[in-house]
């Protein structure tokens, strides 16, 4: 009987010990896993926040890139429109220039025109560009335009004998146009005052057999001519005043 009591007590004690041990283990596990769970939750929150920030940054970046593309496209459109306007203006000005083979037959009363200034500029092989020296030479003629009356400007472009006739005609025209554009822009000369003549290699001013001769033939000759008859017919300001003032009446007797 006593043995049974001891056995019962032992069993009860073992059960209590196991119960206390189990509680301790659970508490230990709980105490160890709770910080890990908290860290995991914090990491999840940080990851979510980072994802939102990345998404927001991507949205703003995409919007910025699109805005930059739109601005660039608008700038390109404006530049294209400006380029087209400039080209149209240049084409209109070039179409207003008088183009002829010679002045005879296109200028009325040509015999009454007398040259008052002339200049010649030369070009490199195959080129139609003005150098600073060329512009200075043309300035000596351009400065006289302001005081000229009833004038025209004859611009004759020439080439050396290198190349085909068609190529040289086109090149001589381009050289003449370059001179005209410079004079028209700098000295405000109306396009209708110009008479462009491209003679290609037809009229040489020096032999094409030497380098020096070919260099002289690659030229544009410019002449400023005025109509002397129209100037003679145009009254001076003093004459206009005399014509407009009635003659005094003789005194009555």
What does the alpha-carbon distance between residue 175 and residue 182 come to, in Å, rounded to a whole number? 11
Residue 219 lies in a domain: yes
In which domain, by residue range, is 227 found?
A: 110-203+213-233
Write down the pLDDT at residue 251.
52
Residue 169 lies in a domain: yes
Residue 251 lies in a domain: no
CA distances from 6 to 12, 107, 151, 235 (A): 10, 148, 145, 155
Query: What would the pLDDT profile of 35-44 be if each residue is shown by its tens digit?
Result: 666 766 777 7
Write down the pLDDT at residue 186.
94
Residue 187 lies in a domain: yes
Q: Rounded to the nearest 5°, which phi and psi values hold at 223?
A: -125, 135
- Mean pLDDT, to the nearest integer, of 155-166? 96
Strands 151-158 and 194-200: parallel
What does the alpha-carbon distance between residue 193 and residue 97 come to, in Å, rounded to a whole number? 8
What percent of the chain is modeled with pLDDT above 90?
Answer: 45
Question: What is the H or E stretch that residue 98 is in?
Answer: strand 98-99
Question: The domain spanning residue 189 has which CATH number?
Answer: 3.30.1330.60
Strands 219-227 and 113-122: antiparallel
Write down the pLDDT at residue 89.
44
Residue 223 lies in a domain: yes
pLDDT higher than 70, residue 55: yes
pLDDT, averaged across the chain:
78
- Mean pLDDT, to the nearest integer, of 60-79? 71
Give the chain's domain count.
1
Q: Is 0.75 surpassed by the pTM of this model?
A: no
What does the alpha-carbon distance between residue 130 and residue 121 come to, in Å, rounded to a whole number? 8
Residue 133 lies in a domain: yes
Cβ pair 205, 158 in contact under 8 A: yes
């Amino acid at each position: 009987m006593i043995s049974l009591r001891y056995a019962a007590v032992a069993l009860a004690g073992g059960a209590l010990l196991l119960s206390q041990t189990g509680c301790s283990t659970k508490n230990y596990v709980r105490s160890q896993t709770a910080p890990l769970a908290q860290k995991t939750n914090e990491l999840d929150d940080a990851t979510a926040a980072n994802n939102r920030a990345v998404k927001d940054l991507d949205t703003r970046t995409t919007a910025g890139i699109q805005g930059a593309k739109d601005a660039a496209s608008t700038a390109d459109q404006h530049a294209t429109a400006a380029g087209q306007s400039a080209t149209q203006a240049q084409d209109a000005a070039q179409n207003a220039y008088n183009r002829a083979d010679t002045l005879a037959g296109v200028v009325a009363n040509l015999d009454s025109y007398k040259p008052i200034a002339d200049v010649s500029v030369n070009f490199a092989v195959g080129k139609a560009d003005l150098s600073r020296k060329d512009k200075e030479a043309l300035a000596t003629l351009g400065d006289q335009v302001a005081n000229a009356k009833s004038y025209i400007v004859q611009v004759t472009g020439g080439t050396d004998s290198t190349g085909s006739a068609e190529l040289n005609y086109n090149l001589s025209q381009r050289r003449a146009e370059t001179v005209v554009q410079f004079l028209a822009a700098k000295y405000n000369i109306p396009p209708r005052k110009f008479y462009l003549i491209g003679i290609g290699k037809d009229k040489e001013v020096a032999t094409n057999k030497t380098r020096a001769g070919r260099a002289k033939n690659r030229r544009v000759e410019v002449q400023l001519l005025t109509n002397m008859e129209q100037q003679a017919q145009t009254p001076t300001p003093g004459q206009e005043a005399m014509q407009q003032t009635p003659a005094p009446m003789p005194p009555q007797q």
